[in-house]
Amino acid sequence: MERLHVTPTKRVALRTEGLTKYFRGFRAVNAVDLAVHEGGVHALVGPNGAGKTTLFNLLTGFIQPSEGRMTVFDEDVTGLAPEQIARKGVARSFQITSLFENLTPREHVELALQGRTSQGLRFWRSEKLLGKYRPEVDDLLEQVGLSALADKPSGLLAYGQKRALEMALVLALDPKVMLLDEPTAGMGIEDVDRTIELVRRIAAGRTVVFVDHNMHVVGSLADEVTVLQQGAVLAQGTYDEVRRDERVITAYLGEAHA
């Protein structure tokens, strides 16, 4: 806190050490060591069933590890409940994304903004922002391209628009670390490109970890890539390093492009 005038070394936002999850003896996540650097965009890739979602579930406290530990900004969060981890500034799209068909995007975002204050999260930057949701709601909806649909029932939104609204709900929490599980799944090219731009913008000033099967998305966004295979880390590095890795080509890229 007193080190503001010192050039900071890059902190690690999320770290796992030997993180392991057994499901009835089956190792869905197997001794994963992961370091997600603050301010980075980190992609988690791997074939279906590699353990990506399970790792997200562990990182957000939805399930508890069988072995290993994890930290958020160097604070041990192993064993904490989802809301306790959320309070450390970690949010995940999935956690708050059950949309109510009858509520409008505006109402969804208002609820999310109210939720963040009632959770006691210190997300507001000054007292002045309190009680002024309207401009923030408008801003969030604009960021995700939903201004024109703000007052329509969410049930009428197209799939890509629903995903965009889900993103706005995570953004409303103003998390330090954002975990996005397949943000572009099921989207057409236009929505994919819009989502890439959106993630790029929201990544400014925060840390993003995302799972995606679309290598165009991974290559466009990720500073660092971790490849999981059968629950274990197969490779880690920049997109270019990882895509040239023979083991990755065999295990994942080869399969994905087959």
* Distance, CA of 233 to CA of 212 (rounded, Å): 16
For ligand ATP, the binding residue among 31, 37, 38, 53 (CB under 6 A) is 53
Least Å distance between CB 210 and Mg ion?
11
Q: Is 115 exposed, middle or buried (0-12, 13-18, 19+ CB in 10 A)?
A: middle
Q: How far is CA 158 from the centre of its chain?
A: 22
**Chosen from ligand ATP, Mg ion, none, partner binding at 46 (C-beta under 5 to 8 Å by type):** ligand ATP
What CA–CA distances, in Å, run from 54 to 23, 50, 94, 119?
Answer: 10, 9, 12, 25
Segment interacting with ligand ATP, rule: CB under 6 A, options 49-57, 79-87, 99-107, 247-255: 49-57
Segment interacting with ligand ATP, rule: CB under 6 A, options 45-53, 128-136, 214-222, 242-250: 45-53
Q: Is 188 in the site for ligand ATP (CB under 6 A)?
A: no
Q: 175: which residues sit within 8 A by CB, 6+ positions away?
A: 86, 89, 90, 91, 206
Q: How far is CA 140 from the centre of its chain?
A: 17
Q: Is 230 in the site for Mg ion (CB under 5 A)?
A: no
Segment interacting with Mg ion, rule: CB under 5 A, options 50-58, 98-106, 133-141, 194-202: 50-58
Query: Which tokens go with 237?
Result: 């590095």
Least Å distance between CB 30 and ligand ATP?
10
For ligand ATP, the binding residue among 48, 102, 118, 126 (CB under 6 A) is 48
- 189-203 and 159-172 helices, crossing angle to 10°: 10
Q: Is 159 in the site for ligand ATP (CB under 6 A)?
A: no
Where do contacts with Mg ion occur on this chain (CB under 5 A)? 52-53
